[in-house]
Structures are given as structure tokens and as C-alpha cells.
Structure 1
Amino acid sequence: MTKDKSIYIKNIYYMLSYAFQVLKQTNCDSVSAEDFEQVQVLFAAIFTKGVSQQLKRGLYREYITRNETLSVMRGELDLQETIQNRIQRKTRLACEFDELSETNLFNQILKTTIHYLVRDDGVDAERKAALKKVLVFFDGIDLLQPSEIQRVRLHYQRNNKNYEMLMNICYFVLDGMLQTTEKGDYKMAAFSDEHMARLYEKFILEYYRQRYSYLTEAKVAQAKWDLVGETSESMIRFLPVMQTDISLRLGDKMLIIDAKYYGRTLQQQYDKYTLHSGNVYQIFTYVKNQDKDNTGNVAGLLLYAKTDEAITPDCMFNMGGNQIGAKTLDLNVDFKVISAQRDKIAEDFFGAQVA
């Protein structure tokens, strides 16, 4: 399924803006006013703005260890290599020292992403020209093979925090979105379900975190198993972790949201359409274990991204004293309508208004 074709491309920009707040701080206001027919053009526009802003701050540099033969001492002496130089009647010293360098994984990923966007036949000539102007500042930084990039090696701290949004854009562009044509050209494949599911979850969480700032909490959280009696840690480790997508709390009321981005919202058996049984069991388990005192103050919601199916779920049930149900979020409408849909969810459960 290529759901991105049924989503306003501009809405993907707004989703990115909430998911990665720094996007709002990189002079991208002009991007939000444009219309994009293809997602790679949107990424090219965001990337040009974001990287240009980073260049004004200066590219992130890390210390790397270098080994050089010098006429004067620098850093630590490589005694064995220096002795070899003496034997060969060379008067130079073999030194090992640390030096700040722009050649690091972060900048290599940036350059690699720009490289492939420039070669993408879906990006217009004007965008490519802008990207090429940015690319000249990465001279001397090595390109990487997209399949060899290890994102787990990326660690963020104060000096490179601004790279987080750019690295996520790079992920969307490089991870599974590149295809080679018969001519050897590169093009961006459809915005896959995996990428959209990742963005969809983060977007919903950050929307509530930013728009409903007075909520006691809005976060990804783990629900604890409601176990009776003493249970050793060695036994508990065999139980699966109950990791929620979004947990919202206001006072003693809690809403657990499980964001679902599927090709099909409902499962079909013969002529009957029902919610995916695994999804219902999962949200029920989260809620009942979280509400161990049976207060009824914990609710659960399966929030599906709307598909083109004729039947879409919009239902709530009282399951053992807790409200549990499913709703759909239509991403193929104006963003104001999307906001209203999510606001109503918070208002229905918490009685909360946008801050």
C-alpha cells in the first residue's frame, strides 16, 4: 500500500513539524506554504533549509585519532614507528594525536542524503541546484553506502542535538526508499508503511505534548503487570514488556493510545468485519493491568490512520468498568480538520481544551 499518495503531502510536513520540533526553528515557514506533488520534493525543500541553517552554526565536529610523521612533537610519540624512521635515517617523529574533524558519521549521512536527493529524478531542477550549493560545503567528507549506515551509532548530546531532525529526514530518504532504475538512476520509492507508522506514532504523541501542555504527562510509558503475591525478578523477566505508544494523564485519569498505521483497519471473516483481535487484546491488557485498583479511570483507544475502506471503526465499549474502543484519524483532509479530530479525543475523555 502506498498510503502517502492519499495523504496531502503538506500534511506530512506538519506531521514532521510536530514530531521534530526543531523543524519549526529552521526557517521552514516558507516550506509550509508550498504545495508538493511528491514527498521527495518536500524532503529536498526541508533538507535545503535545515542544512543551510546548520552550516550557519557550523558543521558538527568530533575528535578523531590521527597518526602522522611530523618534524615537531604533537600528542603522543609512537616510539616503534619513530625508531623505524631513525633506522632509515629519517629525522621526523611519528605522532599520534586527536584532532577536531568534520569527517564523522553525522556529516557523512548528511552528504550521502544530499547526494541521492540530487540524483533523484523526482526532484525538480530548482531544488537540485539549491542542494548542489549546499553540497560544496561537504567537500572532503566521505560518502556512505545507505545499506551500511548504522543508525545505532548515532548518539546525541548538546553539541549535535540540532542534527536529530536532519538525521530522521535522512532515515526516511535512505532507509528502504531508494530504488535503482534500469538506467542506473536513483529514485525515491513510495513512502512505506514502516516509515509512516514511525512518523504517525511520534506525531500523535508530540501533538498532545505540545498542544495540551497542562496534561500531567504525555509520554511513551510502560504498563506494569498487575501481579498478585511476591514474584522474583528472575520470573518477571519472562513476561513481555507492555510498551505503550502514547500515555496521556490528567490528574487521576489516564488514556492509553495505541497508534496503528495499517493497510487494512479491519479483519474480515466471511461477511463480518471486526477489529484486529490482537490489537484489542493488547489494549485491553494494557488498560486492565494499569488500572489495578479497578477505578475505571484508565481508558484505552486504538487510533487507526484512515484507509480507503468503506467501513471504518468508531466505537467505544465498557469492558469490565473501563472504556476501551477504536477510532480513525483521517490524514487526507486539511490539517485543521486533523487537529479537530485529535482535540475531540482529548475533550471527550478529559474534558480538556487546547492550551
Structure 2
Amino acid sequence: MSPDHGAPARWWHPVDDGRLQCDLCPRHCRLREGQHGFCFVRRRSQDRIVLTAYGRSTGLCLDPVEKKPLYHVHPGSSVLSLGTAGCNLACRFCQNWEISTARRTEVLSEQAPVAQVAALARGLGARGVALTYNDPVVFAEYAIDIASACHDLGLEAYAVSVAWVCREPGRELFGAVDAANIDLKAFTEEFYRRLTGARLRDVLATLVDLRAATTTWLELTTLLVPGLNDSPQEVGALASWVARELGEDTPLHLTAFHPAHRMRDRPPTALSVLERARASALEAGLRFVYLGNVPPGTGSTTSCPGCGTPVVERHGYTVSAYRLDGRGRCQGCGLGLPGVLDPADPGGFGNARRRVSLG
């Protein structure tokens, strides 16, 4: 498929001045002939909007599911990770900025037809496909089709997203996958406006709707940027909202910031700051709070909330001990742990990250 043409996009309509309005995300880009949306991968071609990234990838990798991070989804299993290019946010601290800010179709270097992606995942022994690296919201049609192809082969599909999306496409995208990790950037509108170009209220609405309208397993990640969103008070407020609106069993991953992209003037997040934030989130009522981008073995153990048994111990992205039975119940007290844990996959423990290809 030529990147100049692409596949027909959904979620758009014509407006009175002759432009076509994209209804995928709250930016509502209005396009004249030949113009791209903010995300770059949606383009007006004559009387329609097309997705130029459909069937094309910036690369595929076999990853541990813990890297997404999804800690309550078949611990120790492998997933085939796939991304395209572009993004509908403008995060100054983006860790994948080379592809999220790409303005050249050449970065979509690998042909990745839907059926072949699912078949490759099965052939590699992966549990499913993770739609990640950039945000699957901007390639939602492609992501939904991949999820369907995975399900046809008995595999699963996961989304790693910021969830800045309109209601209808959000329900379709997140309803099509089995699990999602949503990057909740902060808990103030100022942070979202100044540092991402998005709006917190829209993301919170999507999260509430996702919980109410789908059966998709949900985990959250918040990158703590020193001096901007890392106070115990803000983390506590965020965690209180999550416990109240999404449930106390929603895992929250608090991860360390490292200077990147357009924010290289701030230091990495100190481990002590992360630990204080974790204590605040637990005090606010969440039962599963993890730390990321920290030394292996730190803040990554899943403990049974019933008896305190460490049921899943991790060293980096490797599961080093597993104490759940085949139905996801604690071997100490029999309490069922929340998540996508049935059946367990101990045979997948220790899978290392490696690049793969459809060629």
C-alpha cells in the first residue's frame, strides 16, 4: 500500500467550509486537500481522510509483557510489540520522540500486513501483540484489525496509550483489546496543557468510560518529572481518584523520568521520590503500586493483598518467582488476584527482548 494513499479512515465528517474534520481525537483537525492532521498519519485525499500508516510499522520486537508495563497480564509471557509513527500529543519529555514526532513516511519502513503480524506472534510463541511505541489511537483502524486477527488465532492484543481520544473510537479501540496500559501523565490541567498539548479532563473521561463500557483489563503508568508532577500530594490525589473511579485493584506504575527530547534540563527522578510517591498511592487506597525505571528488583513485586505472600517476584523484566496457581489464586491463602491471569504461563519466564522481522 502506498503511504501517499493509505487506507480509508473512519471517524470524520465534512464541515460547511469544505474541509473534512477528523473525529478521532479532541483536536478535531480540519483538513483541506493534501493536508495532514497533527498526528501526521491521517491525511485528506480528495473527498476522504486516509490512514497512511495502515499496514506499515517502524519495527517489531519480541518483548516481555512486563516491559509494557502490564504486571497483571500473564506474568512472564512474551508479546510481539508493534508501532507505527506519529502521535496526537506533543510531550516535551517523550521517550520515543524519534517516531512519535516523525514527519517522514520513510520511518514506516516495514510492511506489516494484519494477518502476517498475528501469524508471526503465534509462530514466535507470543501470548499476543502489543500496540505500542507511539499511540495506537492514531492508528486505531489498523490496531482494531490486528486485535481481531489475533483473536482469530487464539491470541490476545494489548494497547499502550495516552487515551486522548473521542468517545466512540475510544470504545471501539479499547473494547477490541484484552488489556491496556494508559499513560496518565499527571493530575493537573496545567501539566497537560503546557507539557503535552492535551487535556486531563478528556483522558479522565476516557478512563471512566473504558471501565464502564468494556471488559478490558486496565493498568496505569505515571512518569514522575521532578518538580512538575512528583509531589506526594499530587500522586495521592491521582491515586484517590483512581481508587474511587476505576477501583482499588487498578495497578499503578510510577516510573522515573530521564532527560529526553525537549526536556533535558531536569535531573532523573530520585528513588527516594518514587518511594514516597508509592507510599502516598498506597495510603490513598490502591492495592498494587509499582516502580519503574529503577534498579532491578525494586518496587516490582506483586504481593497478595490477603496474606502478604509475594506471589510474583520480578528482577527487571524477568519473573524470578511465581506463587499463583493455574487459576490466578495465591498459593498461600487461595485469594484470587485481579488481572488476566488464567491460565498462568510459567513456560514464558525470562524471555529477552529481541528485534524480529516479517521478512
TM-score (norm 1): 0.29
When Rg is computed on C-alpha atoms for both structures, the one with the higher figure is: 1
Query: Which structure shows the bigger proportion of residues in helix conformation?
Result: 1
TM-score (norm 2): 0.29
